[in-house]
Amino acid sequence: MSNHIIENLRKEIEAFKADTKTEKVGHVIEVFDGIAKISGLSDIKSSEMVTFQNGETGVALNLEEDTVGVVILGDFSKIKEGNEVKATGKILEIPVGDSLLGRVVSPLGQAIDGKGAIKADKTYPIEKVATGVVTRQSVSEPVATGIKVIDAIIPVGRGQRELIIGDRQTGKTALCIDSILNQKGQNMICVYVSIGQKDSKLRKIEARLEEGGAMAYTVIVSAGASEPAPLSYIAPYAGVAVAEYFMDKGKDVLIIYDDLSKHAVAYREISLLLRRPPGREAYPGDVFYLHSRLLERACRRNAKYGGGSITALPIIETQAGDISAYIPTNVISITDGQIFLETDLFYKGIRPAVNVGSSVSRVGGNAQIKAMKKVAGTLKLDLAQFRELEAFSQFGSDLDESTKRQLERGKRAVEVLKQLQYSPVKTEHQVVTLYALTKGFMDDVPVEKIKAFEQGLTDYSERNAKTFYKEIKDTKMWTNKGEKELEKVIEDYKNSFS
């Protein structure tokens, strides 16, 4: 055994060839708060990686006349004035490969889950120009999130960018985790980018994903709250680089940025330390470009270019519901729609607390399956009318029959769209429930029994409407034959329910 080790080591040493080439070096003039000013390095490129004498890595962000402003990606306390800095000639990149699946990595691609080093196939640049127009195609396939209100009213398509926006504690992360959990068997790779989150929260998320068997197709990229701002700044770019690796292999990827408000704050910190001029809310002038170049990398490639896609679900945390602040308006304008979560709804017990009126999906409708389109077509309008009538009905009790009917239907719709955390619903079940709702089968079921009715109906219909289920699952189509079968099954179930 010992001979074997010695022999192998001898072979390794014999195979080793030291590099003797000219290197570009500079010297640290100043270090403060994760930023280093370097003299020398005359030919350095923007975003080029540098290595410090103590082994830490940095990225050149400010190229000035005599100095280079470098953000230090790690512990800056051991870097001293006069230390040597070497240019690597490489733009910041992250190791990528299939081995990343099921792992938690730092934005530099280092394993932080204690499961050992990651053997990567290759490296991908963190900053990259988004894929071109020629290679793209329109969004036409749905991402089944398993959340009824989203799949029915604000559908998300593969390659879409849908913003999730809301105050703290409104269930933004929960929506995303549910979406990841529902991707099991949907041929989707998920990347969850955690920016400035507490390590305890990340640990909980990882444990939940592990429990749901979702880590097998998920990569977590994390820059924790205790990490320096530069790591938070590069985290989403690192995440999308991982997503691009899988997309280049023709796979569909769902990437979640949790959250871009903290990302903007990290970038503001770096920019102010680099003495870049502050603008609105002290953010630098290029904060729009910061997010637009990131979200533009989400796309759907056409078949000629591999046919993969990246669907982005960025999260933005608002302060007291103010969606007209700087960063929220920026990201709203970049994305293809937003899912707006409200504190009031959350505390009323309407969870997920999605405000259907303010939420929109600009391109997702094209991706919705026929069956879902058919059953959920008027749901958004019905709910909007319900909210209006609900407010109006508080002033008087004399309401005509049709108004009462609409109010009752609305109450049941709200009840149907409520969903517990970590319990995504299959598309087929969603179609059945929404069909029963919109066709009035639930009108005479008491509101408090709606949940039980729904649960029973989905179980019963799965057993008895086999043709319908097969059609939806295989062809995603809606036929008269299937509809008749479903109608009969719902009637049968309803008779037995009471």
The reply, when asked if residue 22 is annotated as ligand binding, is: no
Contact in structure between 391 and 321 (CB atoms under 8 Å): no
Q: Which is nearer to another protein, 23 or 210 (CB)?
A: 23
The reply, when asked if residue 170 is annotated as ligand binding, is: yes
Contact in structure between 165 and 332 (CB atoms under 8 Å): yes
Q: Which amino acid is at 208?
A: R
Q: At its nearest, how many Å lie between another protein and the CB of residue 66?
A: 6
Task: Give the orientation angle of helix 427-438 with respect to helix 466-475, to 10 degrees.
Answer: 120
Q: Which residues contact 348 (CB under 8 A, 6 or more apart)?
A: none
The reply, when asked if residue 308 is annotated as ligand binding, is: no
Q: Which is nearer to another protein, 60 or 191 (CB)?
A: 60
| Phi and psi angles of residue 458, each rounded to the nearest 5 degrees, phi first | -65, -40
Give the H or E element holding residue 57.
strand 57-63
Site size toward another protein (CB under 8 A) is 18
Print the binding letters for residues 1-40 with another protein: x by CB under 8 A, - otherwise. Answer: --------x--xx--x-xxxxxxxxx-------------x
The reply, when asked if residue 173 is annotated as ligand binding, is: yes
Applying CB under 8 A, does 66 fall inside the site for another protein? yes
Binding positions for another protein, 46-65, rule CB under 8 A: 65
Q: At its nearest, how many Å lie between another protein and the CB of residue 143?
A: 38
Give the H or E element holding residue 49.
strand 48-52
Q: At its nearest, how many Å lie between another protein and the CB of residue 50?
A: 12
Q: At its nearest, how many Å lie between another protein and the CB of residue 87?
A: 9
Contact in structure between 176 and 258 (CB atoms under 8 Å): yes
Q: At its nearest, how many Å lie between another protein and the CB of residue 342?
A: 48
Q: Which is nearer to another protein, 40 or 155 (CB)?
A: 40
Q: At its nearest, how many Å lie between another protein and the CB of residue 20?
A: 5
Beta bridge partners of 490: none
Largest Cα–Cα separation, the chain: 95
- Looking at the annotation, which residues are catalytic? 362
Applying CB under 8 A, does 109 fall inside the site for another protein? no
Give the H or E element holding residue 380.
helix 379-393
Applying CB under 8 A, does 81 fall inside the site for another protein? no
Q: Which amino acid is at 294?
A: L
Contact in structure between 139 and 300 (CB atoms under 8 Å): yes
Residue keyed to tokens 């770096």: 270
The reply, when asked if residue 185 is annotated as ligand binding, is: no
Q: Which residues contact 338 (CB under 8 A, 6 or more apart)?
A: 162, 163, 164, 165, 332, 358, 359, 360
Q: Which is nearer to another protein, 27 or 426 (CB)?
A: 27
> Which segments within 92-150 are labelled E, that is strand?
93-96, 104-105, 122-125
- Using CB under 8 A, pick the residue from 10, 11, 42, 302 that binds another protein: 42
R_g (Cα) of the chain, nearest Å: 26
Q: At its nearest, how many Å lie between another protein and the CB of residue 98?
A: 19
Contact in structure between 145 and 136 (CB atoms under 8 Å): no
The reply, when asked if residue 169 is annotated as ligand binding, is: yes
d(C-alpha 387, C-alpha 198), whole Å: 37
Q: Which is nearer to another protein, 122 or 304 (CB)?
A: 122
Please count the other Cβ atoms lying within 10 Å of the Cβ belonging to residue 174: 19
Contact residues toward another protein (CB under 8 A) are: 9, 12-13, 16, 18-26, 40-42, 65-66
**Binding-site positions:** 166-173
**Binding-site positions for ATP:** 166-173
